[in-house]
Amino acid sequence: MEYHFDQVIDRKETDCIKWDAAGPDVLPMWIADMDFKAAPVIQEALEKRVAHGVFGYTQTPQRFYEAIIGWWEKRHSFILHADWLIPVTGVIPALSAIIRALTAPGDKILLQPPVYNHFFVTIDLCERQAMQNNLRLIEGKYELDFDDLEKKAADPAVKLLLLSNPHNPVGRVWTQEELLRIAEICLRHGVIVVSDEIHSDLVYKPNSHIPFASLGHDHALGSITVSSPTKTFNIAGLQAAYIFSENETFRKRVHRILEIQEMALLNPFAIEALVAAYQHGEGWLESLKSYLEANFTYLKDFCSTNLQHVGVLPLQATYLVWLDCCSVISSSAGFAERLLREHRLWVSPGTLYGDAGEGFLRINIACPRSLLEDGLVRLELALRR
């Protein structure tokens, strides 16, 4: 089946955060939200549910769990069990519940910046402390700093590591060897690993996603994973996510927090969308990934020709490109603000993801090629000034 990713869809005045918060003439390439229609199988499933006409309180059916189990086995060769799974309204609510369930106020939580900005926000809102184990940029590739991780994990106040797997925003897919070293350090020091695997389906060959929970029984018992089809299938507004862990104690404690916060029940559309995506959306996803890879190639070629001083970090996963502008800008935040004000292009400054992101920009390429071309021309004009 052919999918029309080149189609430009007018999203203004649909109450979407990406476009309606931007203002007139702004091209938004910041938030992790694709400008493509959802897979037809998802639209059809939602239309069928709407036609029923009754939208009362909804229990989570067995087919929800079966769809997740089938997807992870097929896509990632990982066997889940239904009783390991906990439905939740989103990855951020899931992370909040996990932090509250498994740590106490004042405890320290390890991060690996530059990293997803909501990790910082959630830790702060939960009244915990962020401890940074910065990634190292070595010859154009981000690497983990294992010596620093060992040192910081040894602090008795450190209780969790929030792992971005694959990593947002630098686009790294962690190898089995890298994940095992993380796992061994954390196991040695009693640090629980919380693996955010929301981008696990947006991995490009020859890379492959390694679920943290697949590293072995001891590491599975010392970890808890959060994931969702929302980034993969562009259905974030439907709020469908899930948590899984082999550790029964973790599950019970997290589920209790979700009950307290009234986040344990999904809406009927979230359920139908997840089941349709995971059971019938694989063809659409493969076509999407091919289009995103072509967009990334276009961006690399454009920068090579027109922005030689901008480094394009390898994109092993996600649709969020990490641009190294250290040699041409002095402040990520200042430049991003000027880019928005003078050229009406909205991208994310690197410092949004921690001080380690200074000099970088994050740009979302999950859009029709014509919009990507427009955005890159605006970026070129700003940088040439």
Residues of the chain with pLDDT under 50: none
- Count of domains for the chain: 2
Residue 385, pLDDT score: 76
Helix (H) or strand (E) holding 348: strand 348-349
9-61: per-residue pLDDT in tens? Answer: 999 999 999 999 988 899 999 999 999 999 999 999 999 999 999 999 999 99
Does one domain contain both 161 and 59? yes
230, 245, 280 - which closes a domain: 280
Does one domain contain both 319 and 331? yes
Does one domain contain both 186 and 240? yes
Query: Nearest CA to 363 among 183, 377, 355?
Result: 377
User: Domain with 213 in it: what CATH number?
Assistant: 3.40.640.10
Residue 139, pLDDT score: 94
The amino acid at 8: V
* Residue 229 preceded by cis peptide, ω within 30: no
What the block records as the tokens of 296 is 């990334």
- Enumerate residues 6+ apart whose C-beta is below 8 A from 309: 325, 327, 328, 383
Distance CA 374, CA 377 (A): 5
Residue 261, pLDDT score: 86
Is 49 a member of any domain? no
Does one domain contain both 167 and 252? yes
335: domain range? 17-40+282-384
Is 25 a member of any domain? yes
Distance CA 259, CA 385 (A): 53
228, 254, 280 - which closes a domain: 280
Distance CA 268, CA 55 (A): 7
- DSSP 3-state assignment of 378? helix
Residue 23, pLDDT score: 84
Residue 264, pLDDT score: 80
Does one domain contain both 158 and 276? yes
Judged on CB neighbours under 10 Å (0-12, 13-18, 19+), 284 is buried
Burial 344-362 (b: 16+ CB within 10 A, else e): ebbbbbbbbbbebbbbbbb
